[in-house]
Amino acid sequence: MTEPLLSIDEIVTEFRVEGGVVRAVNGVSLDVRPGETVGVVGESGSGKSVTMMSALGLLPGHGRVVAGHARFRGRDLVGLAERELERIRGREIGLVFQDPMTAFNPVMTVGEQIAEGLRRHQAGLSRRAAGARVVELLAEVGIPAPERRARQYPHEFSGGMRQRAMIAMAMANRPALIIADEPTTALDVTIQAQILDLLGRVQQETEAALIMITHDLGVIAEMTERVVVMYAGRVVETADVDTVFHEARHPYTRGLLRSLPRLDHRVAELPAIGGQPPNPQALPPGCSYRPRCPLNQGRDECLTRPELNPAGRGHRSACHFHAELAGLTGGVE
């Protein structure tokens, strides 16, 4: 098996907030190998995006990584000087943000911003050559009249076109890794499908690894090879995509799967996971999922935090009772 391109190892991230400290990421580990597509899934607030921002040194001022490592091509990004991180971001790691309207500078044209990334990471590239490459990139991601569009500002683009331009910027320097953070949020279904198809095509053409951060299991099923499920700042299950969808061994994963609409099964209403995600400032003792878990039933073991233990070949689950889920095809009642 090839060495990981990115290896996140026991990352712990805290934010200072009014009233104390919030531990948003609590010992997360995951690997991504060259050319691999990994999905990171979970409810809002589970720590998906913060994990990646921690690895890339993009946390806001009140956040900090207090433990762990994030090694990219063997080099630890945690604690790396900002100038060194800037050389890696955009050149070796491309980013597709959730909201391109806020990711783009509103007072620079889209073409200027893409060209800036090209010239920063490609020494000696002239303005003329960068401009020509921008037009090529916009055409490659399906933006019509790319020469005219390159001279426009982000607010003159539709939401779907802004996301296409963000993908063009991410792929501009042919990075080894692309991180897409909820890339289809707030887009209509037709545009979502186009953006996902574009990401898949870009990955195939550049041979980059792809991390897809999402709360949408449909996106996970369509796009990824391996899945990392997060809850309350921790990884609770990880396996290849077929195993997660057919042999999930954590009750939270099964709850997510039960809430998916299915064409072959008619129901009056979709089942939902009871309760709410825990307050990260006041996590329950032991298993964070315990208050919502149908397997809990007052068991003492649930008062001890479960580790991410083997549940099969290449399959790990952070549930004391994952063996009870073996062979079940439906959700946990």
> What is the dihedral sign for C-alpha 211, 216, 217, 222?
negative
Amino acid at 103: A
Q: What is the pLDDT of residues 261-314, one digit of tens each?
A: 766 667 667 778 888 899 888 899 999 999 999 998 889 999 999 999 999 899
Instruction: Note the Cα 327 to chain centre separation in Å.
Output: 29
Closest CA to 197 of 168, 166, 222: 222
CATH number at residue 154: 3.40.50.300
Any domain includes 240 = no
Q: What are phi and psi of 321, to 5 degrees?
A: -120, 30
Tokens of 283: 């996590």
Q: Residue 2: its pLDDT value, please?
A: 82
Any domain includes 263 = no
Domain boundaries, position 88: 6-229
Any domain includes 138 = yes
Q: What whole-number distance in Å separates Cα of residue 301 and Cα of residue 16? A: 31
Q: What is the pLDDT of residues 81-117, one digit of tens each?
A: 999 999 999 899 999 988 878 889 999 999 999 999 9
Any domain includes 215 = yes
Q: Which residues of the chain have pLDDT under 70?
A: 1, 262-265, 267-268, 328-333
Q: Residue 262: its pLDDT value, please?
A: 65
Give how many domains the chain has, as a whole number.
Answer: 1
Any domain includes 109 = yes
Tokens of 103: 């990711």
